[in-house]
Structure 1
Amino acid sequence: MKTKFILFIILFILMSAFETNCSEPALSFLNSLTGEQKDKLLHAFNDDSKSEWHYFPATMFPRAGISLGELNRDQKQLFFEFLHSSLSETGYSKTKQIISLEDVLAEISGNSHTRDPEKYYIAFYGNPEKDSLWSWCIQGHHLSLNFAVINGKTEIAPRFMGANPATVKSGKRKGTRTLFLEEDLGLQLINSIQEKQKAIFSEHPPYDIVTRNDAEVDPLNPVGIKLKELKRTNQELLLNLINEYLAILPEELAEKRMQKIQSEELGEIRFGWAGGTQAGKPHYYRVQGKTFLIEFDNTQNNANHIHSVWRDFDGDFGRNLIREHYQHSHHH
């Protein structure tokens, strides 16, 4: 009995150490802030601003939290280390590239007030130092990543990423493409489907993603072609497209999400297209399953302005984890 008790204590210590290490980058960033900065960063877990998100520039849609511009160099480095630890290498790279496009837009427009890579905001809901249930987000122009953390378990949704310009046409970064795989894989898929018209539900794409910045979304009208109706090679292309959206997640989380999709809904996933089927023509696509929705559009600025989003019908803002937490908690 004594031996079992000692083993239990050792196991508890190891688990505690693991949880501490998982949250260590968040705590390192949090503890680098002044009291005034913490007041701006930290919000009550159920604060209404948690689900108020957008992809407009911060000057057009105010964000909760503290901006990158309010951090000193060391604090900024700690934040980006925290962000890096929360995403895959792919996800981190795409995020940094999206933020850096603000410099390109500032150069093109001459408006460095609106187009400012320092105007991305970080907000915590709950406190990782003492709460087992908390969430956080980074938001700004063309970026909204929303994380929910419960006892070290993480969900990330909604996930919005955009790019303007999607392809840089001039200047020192000429030729740079952002979110190009999301576009190229979609075009490759629509143009390889033998019964293309079965997938195309409209000749005219919507101007923007249909769900916009809604706090909660339900499945959209079923359009397009089901995965089980596609040839094997096209099925693989569609799965590759879905994987590109999952690739921004940490590897373990991405694999778990794909396993859930494959076990629950694979054959019923629909791929729908609207607009032109050639690069440079305005277009939109949607991938919808039982539990998730992907939307992509490239319609603005002569089809050089991308919006893309992943929505979880049940899991946006960690709603599924939160519900599970309260159902199993003796404290609520």
Structure 2
Amino acid sequence: MFIALINVFSFQLCVPFDLTAQDHTVDFSSALTVVNSLDSTQRAKAVFPFDDMSRYDWHYLPPSLIPRKGVCLKDLDSIQKSHVYALLKNFLSDKGFLRTQNIMNNEYYLKELEPNMIHRIPENHFIAFYGEPAKDSVWGWKFSGHHIALNFTIVNNQLALTPIFFGVYPAEIKEGKNKGRRIIKDEEDIGFELINMLTNEQKAKAIFQSKAFSDIVTTNAIQVGPLAPVGIVANDLTTQQKTILNKLIVSHLSSMPTKIAEMRMKRIVSEDFNQIRFGWAGGLLKGVPHYYRIQGKTFLIEFDNTTHNANHIHIVWRDFNGDFGVDLLNEHYKKSKHHHE
């Protein structure tokens, strides 16, 4: 089982990053570079106290519908933008950074596709900081816009990076010069591979409803707990099926920095792999609305492709105790309290 996992990793996640598996320390100087590049007006929009409650606000609809806190990318000059891209590159894997860029650039395509839709605004993505990078032991930042929500919390140089959300419409471009382009691909293809390799008996357990949800169930909730224990338990899968489930989880982890993704997967395998549940709702073929979730003891993955004739994908990773760095913060404040007693 574990050998199969390592093989998946060597295939999917092979780029070295400036992180260590032991304490997943990340170089945060790129965050300071962005903050220092802002003028006083921009800084007033972009930098908040760490305990500002807007840190927990996140969404994936266009900011013209749901306003965001922060400074807008389209209002920055080219040098400032390059600093933001460097920051994103530092906190994501190469695959995650490329996906983020592609989703942002997709807004130009949507503007061409729907010229009269007022919400198609390229570079309408916002960056906000909470606390002072490089100065505070506890700080965070987020990057948000249409179909992107990235939330990073740093506690004593340890990094938490959930909720992490990506979406894309169209999921597959059907015509024109970009025909066939799919920005989010593996999470859908491997999901189909897994559900369709199950026996009828296994499918009866895995498919918990015939109709897909219209969106991810947890939407933009600030905090989530385990959903109903639906679907098939990994323990009821064959070795080959478990390997594909591994591969599917890795595809969802692959936007995260490599060392963190590897560390998370090892923890999932060692702690609760056989109790992970894979649940499916909807059709078993492309073009038919479909949804799945993968739920473990500590995490939830949701995927949906239901609207616009099943050509509009949303994916999210949630940590039950770790979203917005809650577990790291609890530990930090506990130690601080003992230190002062």
Question: Partners in 2 of 1:21 and 1:306 — Cα distance?
Answer: 30
What TM-score, normalized by structure 1, do the two folds share? 0.92
Describe the shift of the 1:238–1:76 C-alpha distance in structure 2 as closer, same or farther (beyond 3 A): same
2:237 is equivalent to residue 230 of structure 1: yes
Shift in Å, 1:112 = 6.5
Residues 8-19 of structure 1: pairs in structure 2 closer than 5 A: none
The equivalent of 2:6 in structure 1 is none
Give the structure 1 partner of residue 190 of structure 2.
185
The reply to whether residue 210 of structure 1 matches residue 217 of structure 2 is yes
**Cα distance in structure 1, aligned partners of 2:82 and 2:272:** 41
Deviations 1:130-182 (A, max 9, x none): 10110110011111010011122111000111010101123332211011111
In structure 2, what is the equivalent of residue 9 of structure 1? none
Kindly report which structure 2 residues correspond to 1:107-122, keeping only aligned pairs within 5 A, or say none.
107-111=112-116, 113-122=118-127
Structure 1 residues 64-118: Cα deviation after superposition (integer angstroms, max 9, x where no partner) = 0011011100000011011101110011011111111111111111046411221
Gaps of 5+ in 1: 1-18
For the 8 Å contact 2:163–2:324, the answer to whether it is kept is yes
- How many residues of Structure 1 are paired with residues of Structure 2 in the alignment? 314
Specify the code of the residue in structure 2 equivalent to 1:91: G
Cα offset for 1:251? 1.1
Runs of 4 or more consecutive aligned structure 1 residues displaced over 3 Å after TM superposition:
none
1:282: Cα distance to partner? Answer: 0.4
Deviations 1:11-40 (A, max 9, x none): xxxxxxxx9981211111111111111111
Q: Partners in 2 of 1:109 and 1:68 — Cα distance?
A: 22
Is contact 2:26–2:158 with CA below 8 Å preserved after alignment? Answer: no
Q: Which has the higher contact order (CA 8 A, sep 6+)?
A: 2
Pick the structure with greater CA Rg.
Answer: 1
For residues 331 and 175 of structure 1, do their structure 2 counterparts lie closer, same or farther at Cα, with a shift above 3 Å needed? Answer: farther
Residues 289-316 of structure 1, C-alpha deviations (whole Å, 9 max, x = no match): 0000000000000000001100000001
Asked if 1:24 corresponds to 2:29, the answer is yes
1:52 to 45, 54, 57: 57
Q: In 2, distance between residues paired with 1:218 and 1:319?
A: 13
The aligned amino acid for 2:212 is: P
Change (3 A) 1:28 1:112: farther
- Say if 2:254 is the partner of 1:257: no
Whole-angstrom distance in 2 between the partners of 1:290 and 1:20: 25
Q: Under a length normalisation based on structure 2, what TM-score does the superposition of the two structures give?
A: 0.89
Correspondence for 1:320 among 313, 318, 327? 327
Question: Which residue identity is paired with 1:168?
Answer: I
Q: Distance in 1 between matches of 2:117 and 2:42?
A: 24
Any residues of structure 2 matched to 1:260-271 within 5 Å, and which? 260-271=267-278
Aligned to 2:292: 285
Percent identity reads 47
In the alignment, structure 1 residue 86 sits paired with structure 2 residue 88: no
Compare 309-318 and 148-157 and name the one that shifted more: 148-157
CA distance, structure 2, for counterparts of residue 183 and residue 235 of structure 1: 17
